[in-house]
Amino acid sequence: MKKITLAVCILGASTLFASSSLLTKAKQSGLEAIPASKVELMKLIDDKKDPITKEKVELGKKLYFDPRLSKSGLISCNTCHNLGLGGADGIPAAIGHGWTANPHHLNSPTVYNSVFFKAQFWDGRSPHLADQAQGPVQAGPEMAAPASLVEQRINSIPEYVSEFKVAYGKDVKVDFATITATIATFEKTLVTPSKFDDFLNGKEKALTAEEKKGLTLFIDKGCTSCHTGIALGGTMQAFEVASKYKFTNVGDFKGDAKGMVKTPTLRNITETAPYFHNGQIWSLNEAVKEMGSVQLGIEISDADAAQIVTFLKTLKGAKPAISYPQLPESSIDTAKPEFN
């Protein structure tokens, strides 16, 4: 009896040591958890110059879902960054105004956890969400609405004007920058903690043995050379380091001036196919193998890819409860939809 008890104790201690060792290894590889504490999370996502408040978040949510921010009155932020579809749109290249496909054949990245990205857009041209929000609204192939048109429509809707005064004070200027910054405030709250965060935050039993094997492979194969930080991505990295991406000629995107490309987040990755900047790979296992070849110069076997995907599934997080907002009605002065 004593021998059995001793064996169980040794096995338990060994398992605990292995988990502790993996936890240390993960953190040393640059992986970071979404804080379990709301206070600590707010320290990461809030801006003292433009603090997050429930009034701004609710207003930003309405603007995020409002198609009147587009020239046609048909396209909202949620069209390409659908909160019910992992924060993306599930198609290879984004479709915008006039049924126009993205001219560079670029895939819509997820909006979830984008507050943790160090750069926005595939070429990293925007440093933060408030700046990013201005781009798609004005872009011809996307929402195609000039800033002046957006300002006119929002200011012509009395209920919106009242809500801006409640959120920012009676002297607020409801201009394009304030409108898009309010959308960004809502987007900052789209954080999705998962069982992986529980593990990093010290709950060593949050991951199964198979998921831990996948995490170990993820680290050992070198995936954390790009997919690090809280977002497991969101930073600018060199692309096609070891070999050519097999769909590199689909679209003309080549990265920024230095050929750097924003690394996509791996959070909720099972929900955001198709993969890569031009949305050409639908299988997550295939995407893992392609990254091994393109970025790491190694061949990842089917078995190892499947094991890594087992870990990647732990990154599917709990989504904030979002109810579809009832939008304020237009007035007779609200600029009419334009389809040209």
Is 9 annotated in a binding site? The answer is no
The span from the CA of 266 to the CA of 192, in Å, is: 12
Residue 116, Ramachandran bin (φ over 0: left; ψ between -120 and 50: alpha; else beta): alpha
DSSP bridge partners of 238: 260
Is 143 annotated in a binding site? The answer is no
Place of tokens 């237009």: 330
Q: Is there a contact between 320 and 189 (Cβ–Cβ < 8 Å)?
A: yes
Query: Could you please report the per-residue DSSP string of 276-332?
Result: TTTT-B--HHHHHHHHIIIII--PPPHHHHHHHHHHHGGG-PPPP--PPPPPPPP-T
Is 128 annotated in a binding site? The answer is no
Is 227 annotated in a binding site? The answer is yes
Is 81 annotated in a binding site? The answer is yes
Closest CA to 188 of 42, 35, 34, 87: 42
Is 77 annotated in a binding site? The answer is yes
Catalytic residue (one of 32, 40, 58, 142): 142
Is 97 annotated in a binding site? The answer is yes
* Long-range CB pairs of 298-306, under 8 A, 24+ apart, other chains included: 298/221, 298/222, 298/242, 300/221, 304/217, 304/221
The span from the CA of 5 to the CA of 12, in Å, is: 10
| Catalytic site includes residue 211 | no
The span from the CA of 97 to the CA of 337, in Å, is: 12
Is 277 annotated in a binding site? The answer is no
Which residues are annotated binding-site positions? 77, 80-81, 97, 223, 226-227, 291
The set of catalytic residues is: 142
Which residues are annotated binding-site positions for heme c? 77, 80-81, 97, 223, 226-227, 291
